[in-house]
């Protein structure tokens, strides 16, 4: 990157303007993200915290001065959110949604109560508005399915006994997001109380309808857009998601919610292959989204938010660990598995940032972006590290007791 | 057939698992993406995976061939290169097999396959006659068409894989 810092101005001085500058800047951002992702892989961490750091370095007044790409990055970030939510909806089959709900509704409820309340309480103690506190509750509640699924795969824990419990909790969290997002989006837009209520009710009704259609009825939307050609399917599914997201945004329901609905309403083979086709696009634009998100934040504000973020991280890491422990215990898992289940749930990531964006763009609370960034920076790193060392930690603290217990 | 347990992994795929006679527990994770993972559970911590192998779709198909007792396919592939349409298979007879002479099975008329050897206790009876008996625990060597060998295996109540 230091090499780039020297090259870019030189090339620009040679007369590159307009297109040249835009290409250089976009390329530079992507290369920086590539370097960060490479580093993340090397040290075995999630790239999300490193992407956030990249954004902090690249923002205006940071190391570089990006000016030509504002529009691209802004639109790219929007597409990133749409893709994150679309994929979330696509990744589960209706049977998986219902199965998880039936099997783990209790664990899901414990998870919601234990991890939403700390955020809500912190928000209120900080003197934020109740609505801002509800946003912070969402930020502390939602674990990162992306980070967790990757950690489970990397550590070879997909076959572990506690994994179905962990995955079921993640599915329920994602389902809760389907209901939570339209509510807070409706509330955040504000306006007269009656119009707010109508907006929320309409959004919820649409979510309920999409869930119902997806679970009860065969996959109408999926069959409509199904195509053998990857190209046709890619354009259809992405086009549909963007159109619905745009329409939702125009109706002041939030683009993210619209995209999520499309993801839920499409199931079957279209959803399967669609998810495969969209995964690299999601990675690309989600990276841009993280960068853009940090552009909206003053780095000094993150430093100021750090003590509170740390306290929040400690409390909510503990509540997540308890949630996993409790759920795994109910599923008849041994002590070591309970600790693994608890620690793996600690990671927060993409959706905490999505919620923070929703709060920021609707001017719910000026400090929420910085706090969410610091919070995610901490837990996206601590979560995977904690779970990697879950077994040695258990052995150390519980010692021989666990060995005899599980033999 | 050992009992196979199935566990759904939402967003990932399905896991199948069985206990082996010797006590180990082995599982296969079938991912939505088509990739498979073979996992072996930890004896010390029965909730945890101790070892695993990740296989692509093609690799798992090859592995299934190797494991699935499709000796026919493996051996015949080599043999059929020499003689088109002729197959040889080694067929172990189950312990509950009732002794019977080759003539009494009417194998050649009924299936078109012939017994070309009987292996018993480490020695072979090459080119057995119609009066020769097949006993439980023997391995008979058959020659015939592919379908003929499968039919002969069914006739003898042995599994041709």
Q: Residue A237: its pLDDT value, please?
A: 92
Whether the per-residue pLDDT at A41 is higher than 70: the answer is: yes
CA B109 to chain A, closest CA, distance in angstroms equals 49
Q: Residue A15: its pLDDT value, please?
A: 47
B45 touching A (Cβ < 8 Å)? yes
d(CA A180, CA A355): 10
* Cβ contact, residue pair A171, B32, below 8 Å: no
Report the pLDDT averaged over residues A137-153.
92
Whether the per-residue pLDDT at B94 is higher than 50: the answer is: yes
CA A166 to chain B, closest CA, distance in angstroms equals 9
Report the pLDDT averaged over residues A400-404.
45
Name, in order, each residue with C-beta under 8 angstroms of A234's C-beta and a sequence gap of 6 or more. Answer: A274, A277, A278
Report the pLDDT averaged over residues A267-277.
85
Indicate yes or no: pTM above 0.80: no
Q: Does residue A275 or residue A318 have the better pLDDT?
A: A318
Of A159, A168, A276, the CB nearest to B49: A159
- Pull the structure tokens for residue B62: 């090859």
Element at B18 (helix H, strand E): strand B13-19
Q: What is the pLDDT of residues A273-289, one digit of tens each?
A: 888 899 999 999 999 99
* Cβ contact, residue pair A170, B11, below 8 Å: yes
Q: What is the pLDDT of residues A165-205, one digit of tens each?
A: 999 999 999 888 888 888 888 788 777 777 777 777 877 78
Of B8, B9, B33, the CB nearest to A158: B9
pLDDT band, residue A403 (cuts 50/70/90): very low
Return the SS3 of B13: strand
Binding-site residues on chain A for chain B (CB distance < 8 A)? 91-92, 96-97, 99-100, 145, 149, 156-164, 167-168, 170-171, 272, 276, 333-334, 336-337, 340, 391, 403, 406-407
- Pull the structure tokens for residue B16: 């199948």
Q: Residue A61: its pLDDT value, please?
A: 64
CA B23 to chain A, closest CA, distance in angstroms equals 13
- Spell out which residues of chain B touch residue A276, defining contact as CB-CB under 8 Å: 33
Task: Tell me the pLDDT of chain B averaged across its residues.
Answer: 80
Q: Residue A1: its pLDDT value, please?
A: 45
pLDDT band, residue A320 (cuts 50/70/90): very high
What's phi and psi for B90, nearest 5 deg?
-100, 125
- Spell out which residues of chain A touch residue B32, defining contact as CB-CB under 8 Å: 272
Walk across the sheet containing B114-120 and list its strands.
Answer: B87-92, B139-144, B114-120, B123-126
* Among the listed residues B149, B146, B161, B148, the one whose alpha carbon sits nearest the alpha carbon of residue B77: B146
DSSP letters, B63-110, are: HHHHHTT-HHHHHHHHHTTTSTT-EEEEEEPPTTPPPEEHHHHTHHHH
Q: Residue A98: its pLDDT value, please?
A: 83
CA B49 to chain A, closest CA, distance in angstroms equals 6
Q: Residue A80: its pLDDT value, please?
A: 93
DSSP letters, A84-132, are: HHHHHHHHS-HHHHHHHHHHHHHHHHHHHHHHHHHHHHHHHHTT--HHH
Q: What is the pLDDT of residues B19-72, one digit of tens each?
A: 888 888 899 998 877 788 999 998 888 889 999 999 988 888 788 878 865 554
Of A159, A161, A337, the CB nearest to B29: A159
Find, in chain B, the residue whose alpha carbon is nearest to that of A170. B10
Of B11, B37, B49, the CB nearest to A171: B11
d(CA A26, CA A402): 52
CA dihedral A25, A30, A31, A37 (to 10 degrees): 150
B15 touching A (Cβ < 8 Å)? yes
pLDDT band, residue A37 (cuts 50/70/90): very high
CA B59 to chain A, closest CA, distance in angstroms equals 19
Whether the per-residue pLDDT at A10 is higher than 70: the answer is: no
pLDDT band, residue A221 (cuts 50/70/90): confident
Q: Residue A400: its pLDDT value, please?
A: 47
Whether the per-residue pLDDT at A319 is higher than 80: the answer is: yes
pLDDT-above-70 percentage for chain A: 90
d(CA A180, CA A163): 25
Find, in chain B, the residue whose alpha carbon is nearest to that of A336. B45
d(CA A291, CA A59): 8
Whether the per-residue pLDDT at A407 is higher than 50: the answer is: no
Whether the per-residue pLDDT at B143 is higher than 90: the answer is: no
B39 touching A (Cβ < 8 Å)? yes
Across A7-21, A118-132, A144-158, B23-37, least confident range: A7-21
Q: What is the pLDDT of residues A356-401, one digit of tens each?
A: 998 988 888 899 999 999 999 999 999 999 999 988 888 887 754 5
- Spell out which residues of chain B touch residue A97, defining contact as CB-CB under 8 Å: 10
A395 Cα distance to chain centroid: 32
Q: Residue B81: its pLDDT value, please?
A: 47
For residue A147, count other CB atoms closer than 10 A to its CB: 26
- Pull the structure tokens for residue B59: 């690799």
Return the SS3 of B92: strand
Asked whether the beta carbons of A138 and A119 are under 8 A apart, the reply is: yes
Task: Tell me the pLDDT of chain A averaged across its residues.
Answer: 85
Report the pLDDT averaged over residues A255-278.
85
Find, in chain A, the residue whose alpha carbon is nearest to that of B11. A92
Q: Residue A108: its pLDDT value, please?
A: 94
| Best to test chain B binding among A159, A269, A276, A398 (most B CBs inside 10 Å) | A159
Supply the angle between the helices A368-388 and A145-154 in degrees, to the nearest 10.
20
B127 touching A (Cβ < 8 Å)? no
Asked whether the beta carbons of B114 and B142 are under 8 A apart, the reply is: yes
């Amino acid at each position: 990157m230091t090499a780039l810092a020297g090259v870019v101005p030189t090339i620009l001085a040679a007369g590159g303007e307009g297109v040249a500058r835009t290409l250089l800047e976009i390329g530079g951002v992507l290369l920086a993200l590539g370097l960060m992702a490479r580093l993340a892989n090397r040290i075995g961490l999630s790239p999300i915290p490193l992407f956030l750091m990249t954004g902090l370095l690249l923002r205006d007044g940071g190391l570089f001065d990006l000016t030509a790409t504002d529009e691209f990055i802004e639109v790219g970030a929007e597409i990133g959110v749409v893709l994150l939510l679309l994929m979330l909806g696509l990744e589960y089959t209706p049977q998986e949604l219902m199965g998880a709900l039936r099997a783990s509704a209790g664990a899901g409820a414990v998870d919601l109560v234990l991890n939403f309340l700390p955020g809500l309480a912190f928000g209120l103690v900080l003197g934020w508005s109740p609505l801002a506190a509800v946003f912070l509750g969402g930020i502390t509640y939602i674990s990162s399915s992306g980070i967790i699924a990757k950690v489970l795969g990397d550590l070879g824990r997909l076959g572990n006994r506690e994994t179905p419990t962990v995955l079921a909790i993640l599915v329920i969290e994602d389902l809760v997001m389907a209901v939570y997002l339209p509510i807070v989006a409706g509330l955040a837009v504000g306006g007269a109380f009656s119009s707010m209520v109508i907006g929320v009710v309409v959004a919820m009704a649409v979510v309920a309808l999409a869930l119902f259609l997806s679970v009860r009825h065969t996959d109408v939307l999926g069959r409509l857009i199904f195509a053998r050609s990857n190209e046709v399917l890619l354009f259809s599914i992405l086009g549909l998601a963007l159109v619905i997201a745009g329409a939702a945004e125009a109706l002041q329901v939030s683009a993210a919610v619209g995209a999520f609905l499309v993801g839920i309403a499409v199931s079957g083979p279209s959803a399967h292959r669609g998810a495969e086709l969209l995964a690299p696009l999601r990675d690309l634009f989600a990276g841009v989204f993280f960068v853009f998100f940090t552009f909206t934040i003053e780095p000094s504000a993150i430093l100021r938010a750090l003590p509170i973020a740390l306290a929040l991280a400690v409390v909510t890491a503990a509540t997540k660990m308890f949630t996993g422990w409790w759920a795994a215990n109910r599923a008849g898992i041994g002590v070591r598995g309970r600790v693994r289940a608890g620690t793996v749930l600690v990671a927060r990531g993409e959706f905490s940032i999505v919620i923070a964006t929703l709060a920021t763009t609707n001017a719910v609370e000026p400090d929420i972006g910085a706090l969410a960034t610091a919070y995610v920076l901490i837990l996206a790193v601590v979560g995977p590290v904690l779970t990697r060392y879950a077994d040695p930690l258990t052995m150390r603290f519980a010692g021989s007791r666990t060995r005899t217990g599980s033999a | 057939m050992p009992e196979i347990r199935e566990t759904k992994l939402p967003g990932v795929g399905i896991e199948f698992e069985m206990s082996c006679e010797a006590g180990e527990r082995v599982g296969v994770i079938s991912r939505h993406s088509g990739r498979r993972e073979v996992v072996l559970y930890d004896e010390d911590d029965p909730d945890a995976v101790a070892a695993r192998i990740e296989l692509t779709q093609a690799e798992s198909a090859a592995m299934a061939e190797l494991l699935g007792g499709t000796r026919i396919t493996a051996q015949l592939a080599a043999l059929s290169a020499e003689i088109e349409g002729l197959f040889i298979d080694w067929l172990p007879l189950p312990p509950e097999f009732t002794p019977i002479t080759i003539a009494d099975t009417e194998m050649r008329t009924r299936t078109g396959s012939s017994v070309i050897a009987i292996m018993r206790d480490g020695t072979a009876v090459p080119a057995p006659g119609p009066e020769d008996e097949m006993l439980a625990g023997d391995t008979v060597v058959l020659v015939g068409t592919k379908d003929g060998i499968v039919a002969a295996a069914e006739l003898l109540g042995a599994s041709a894989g």
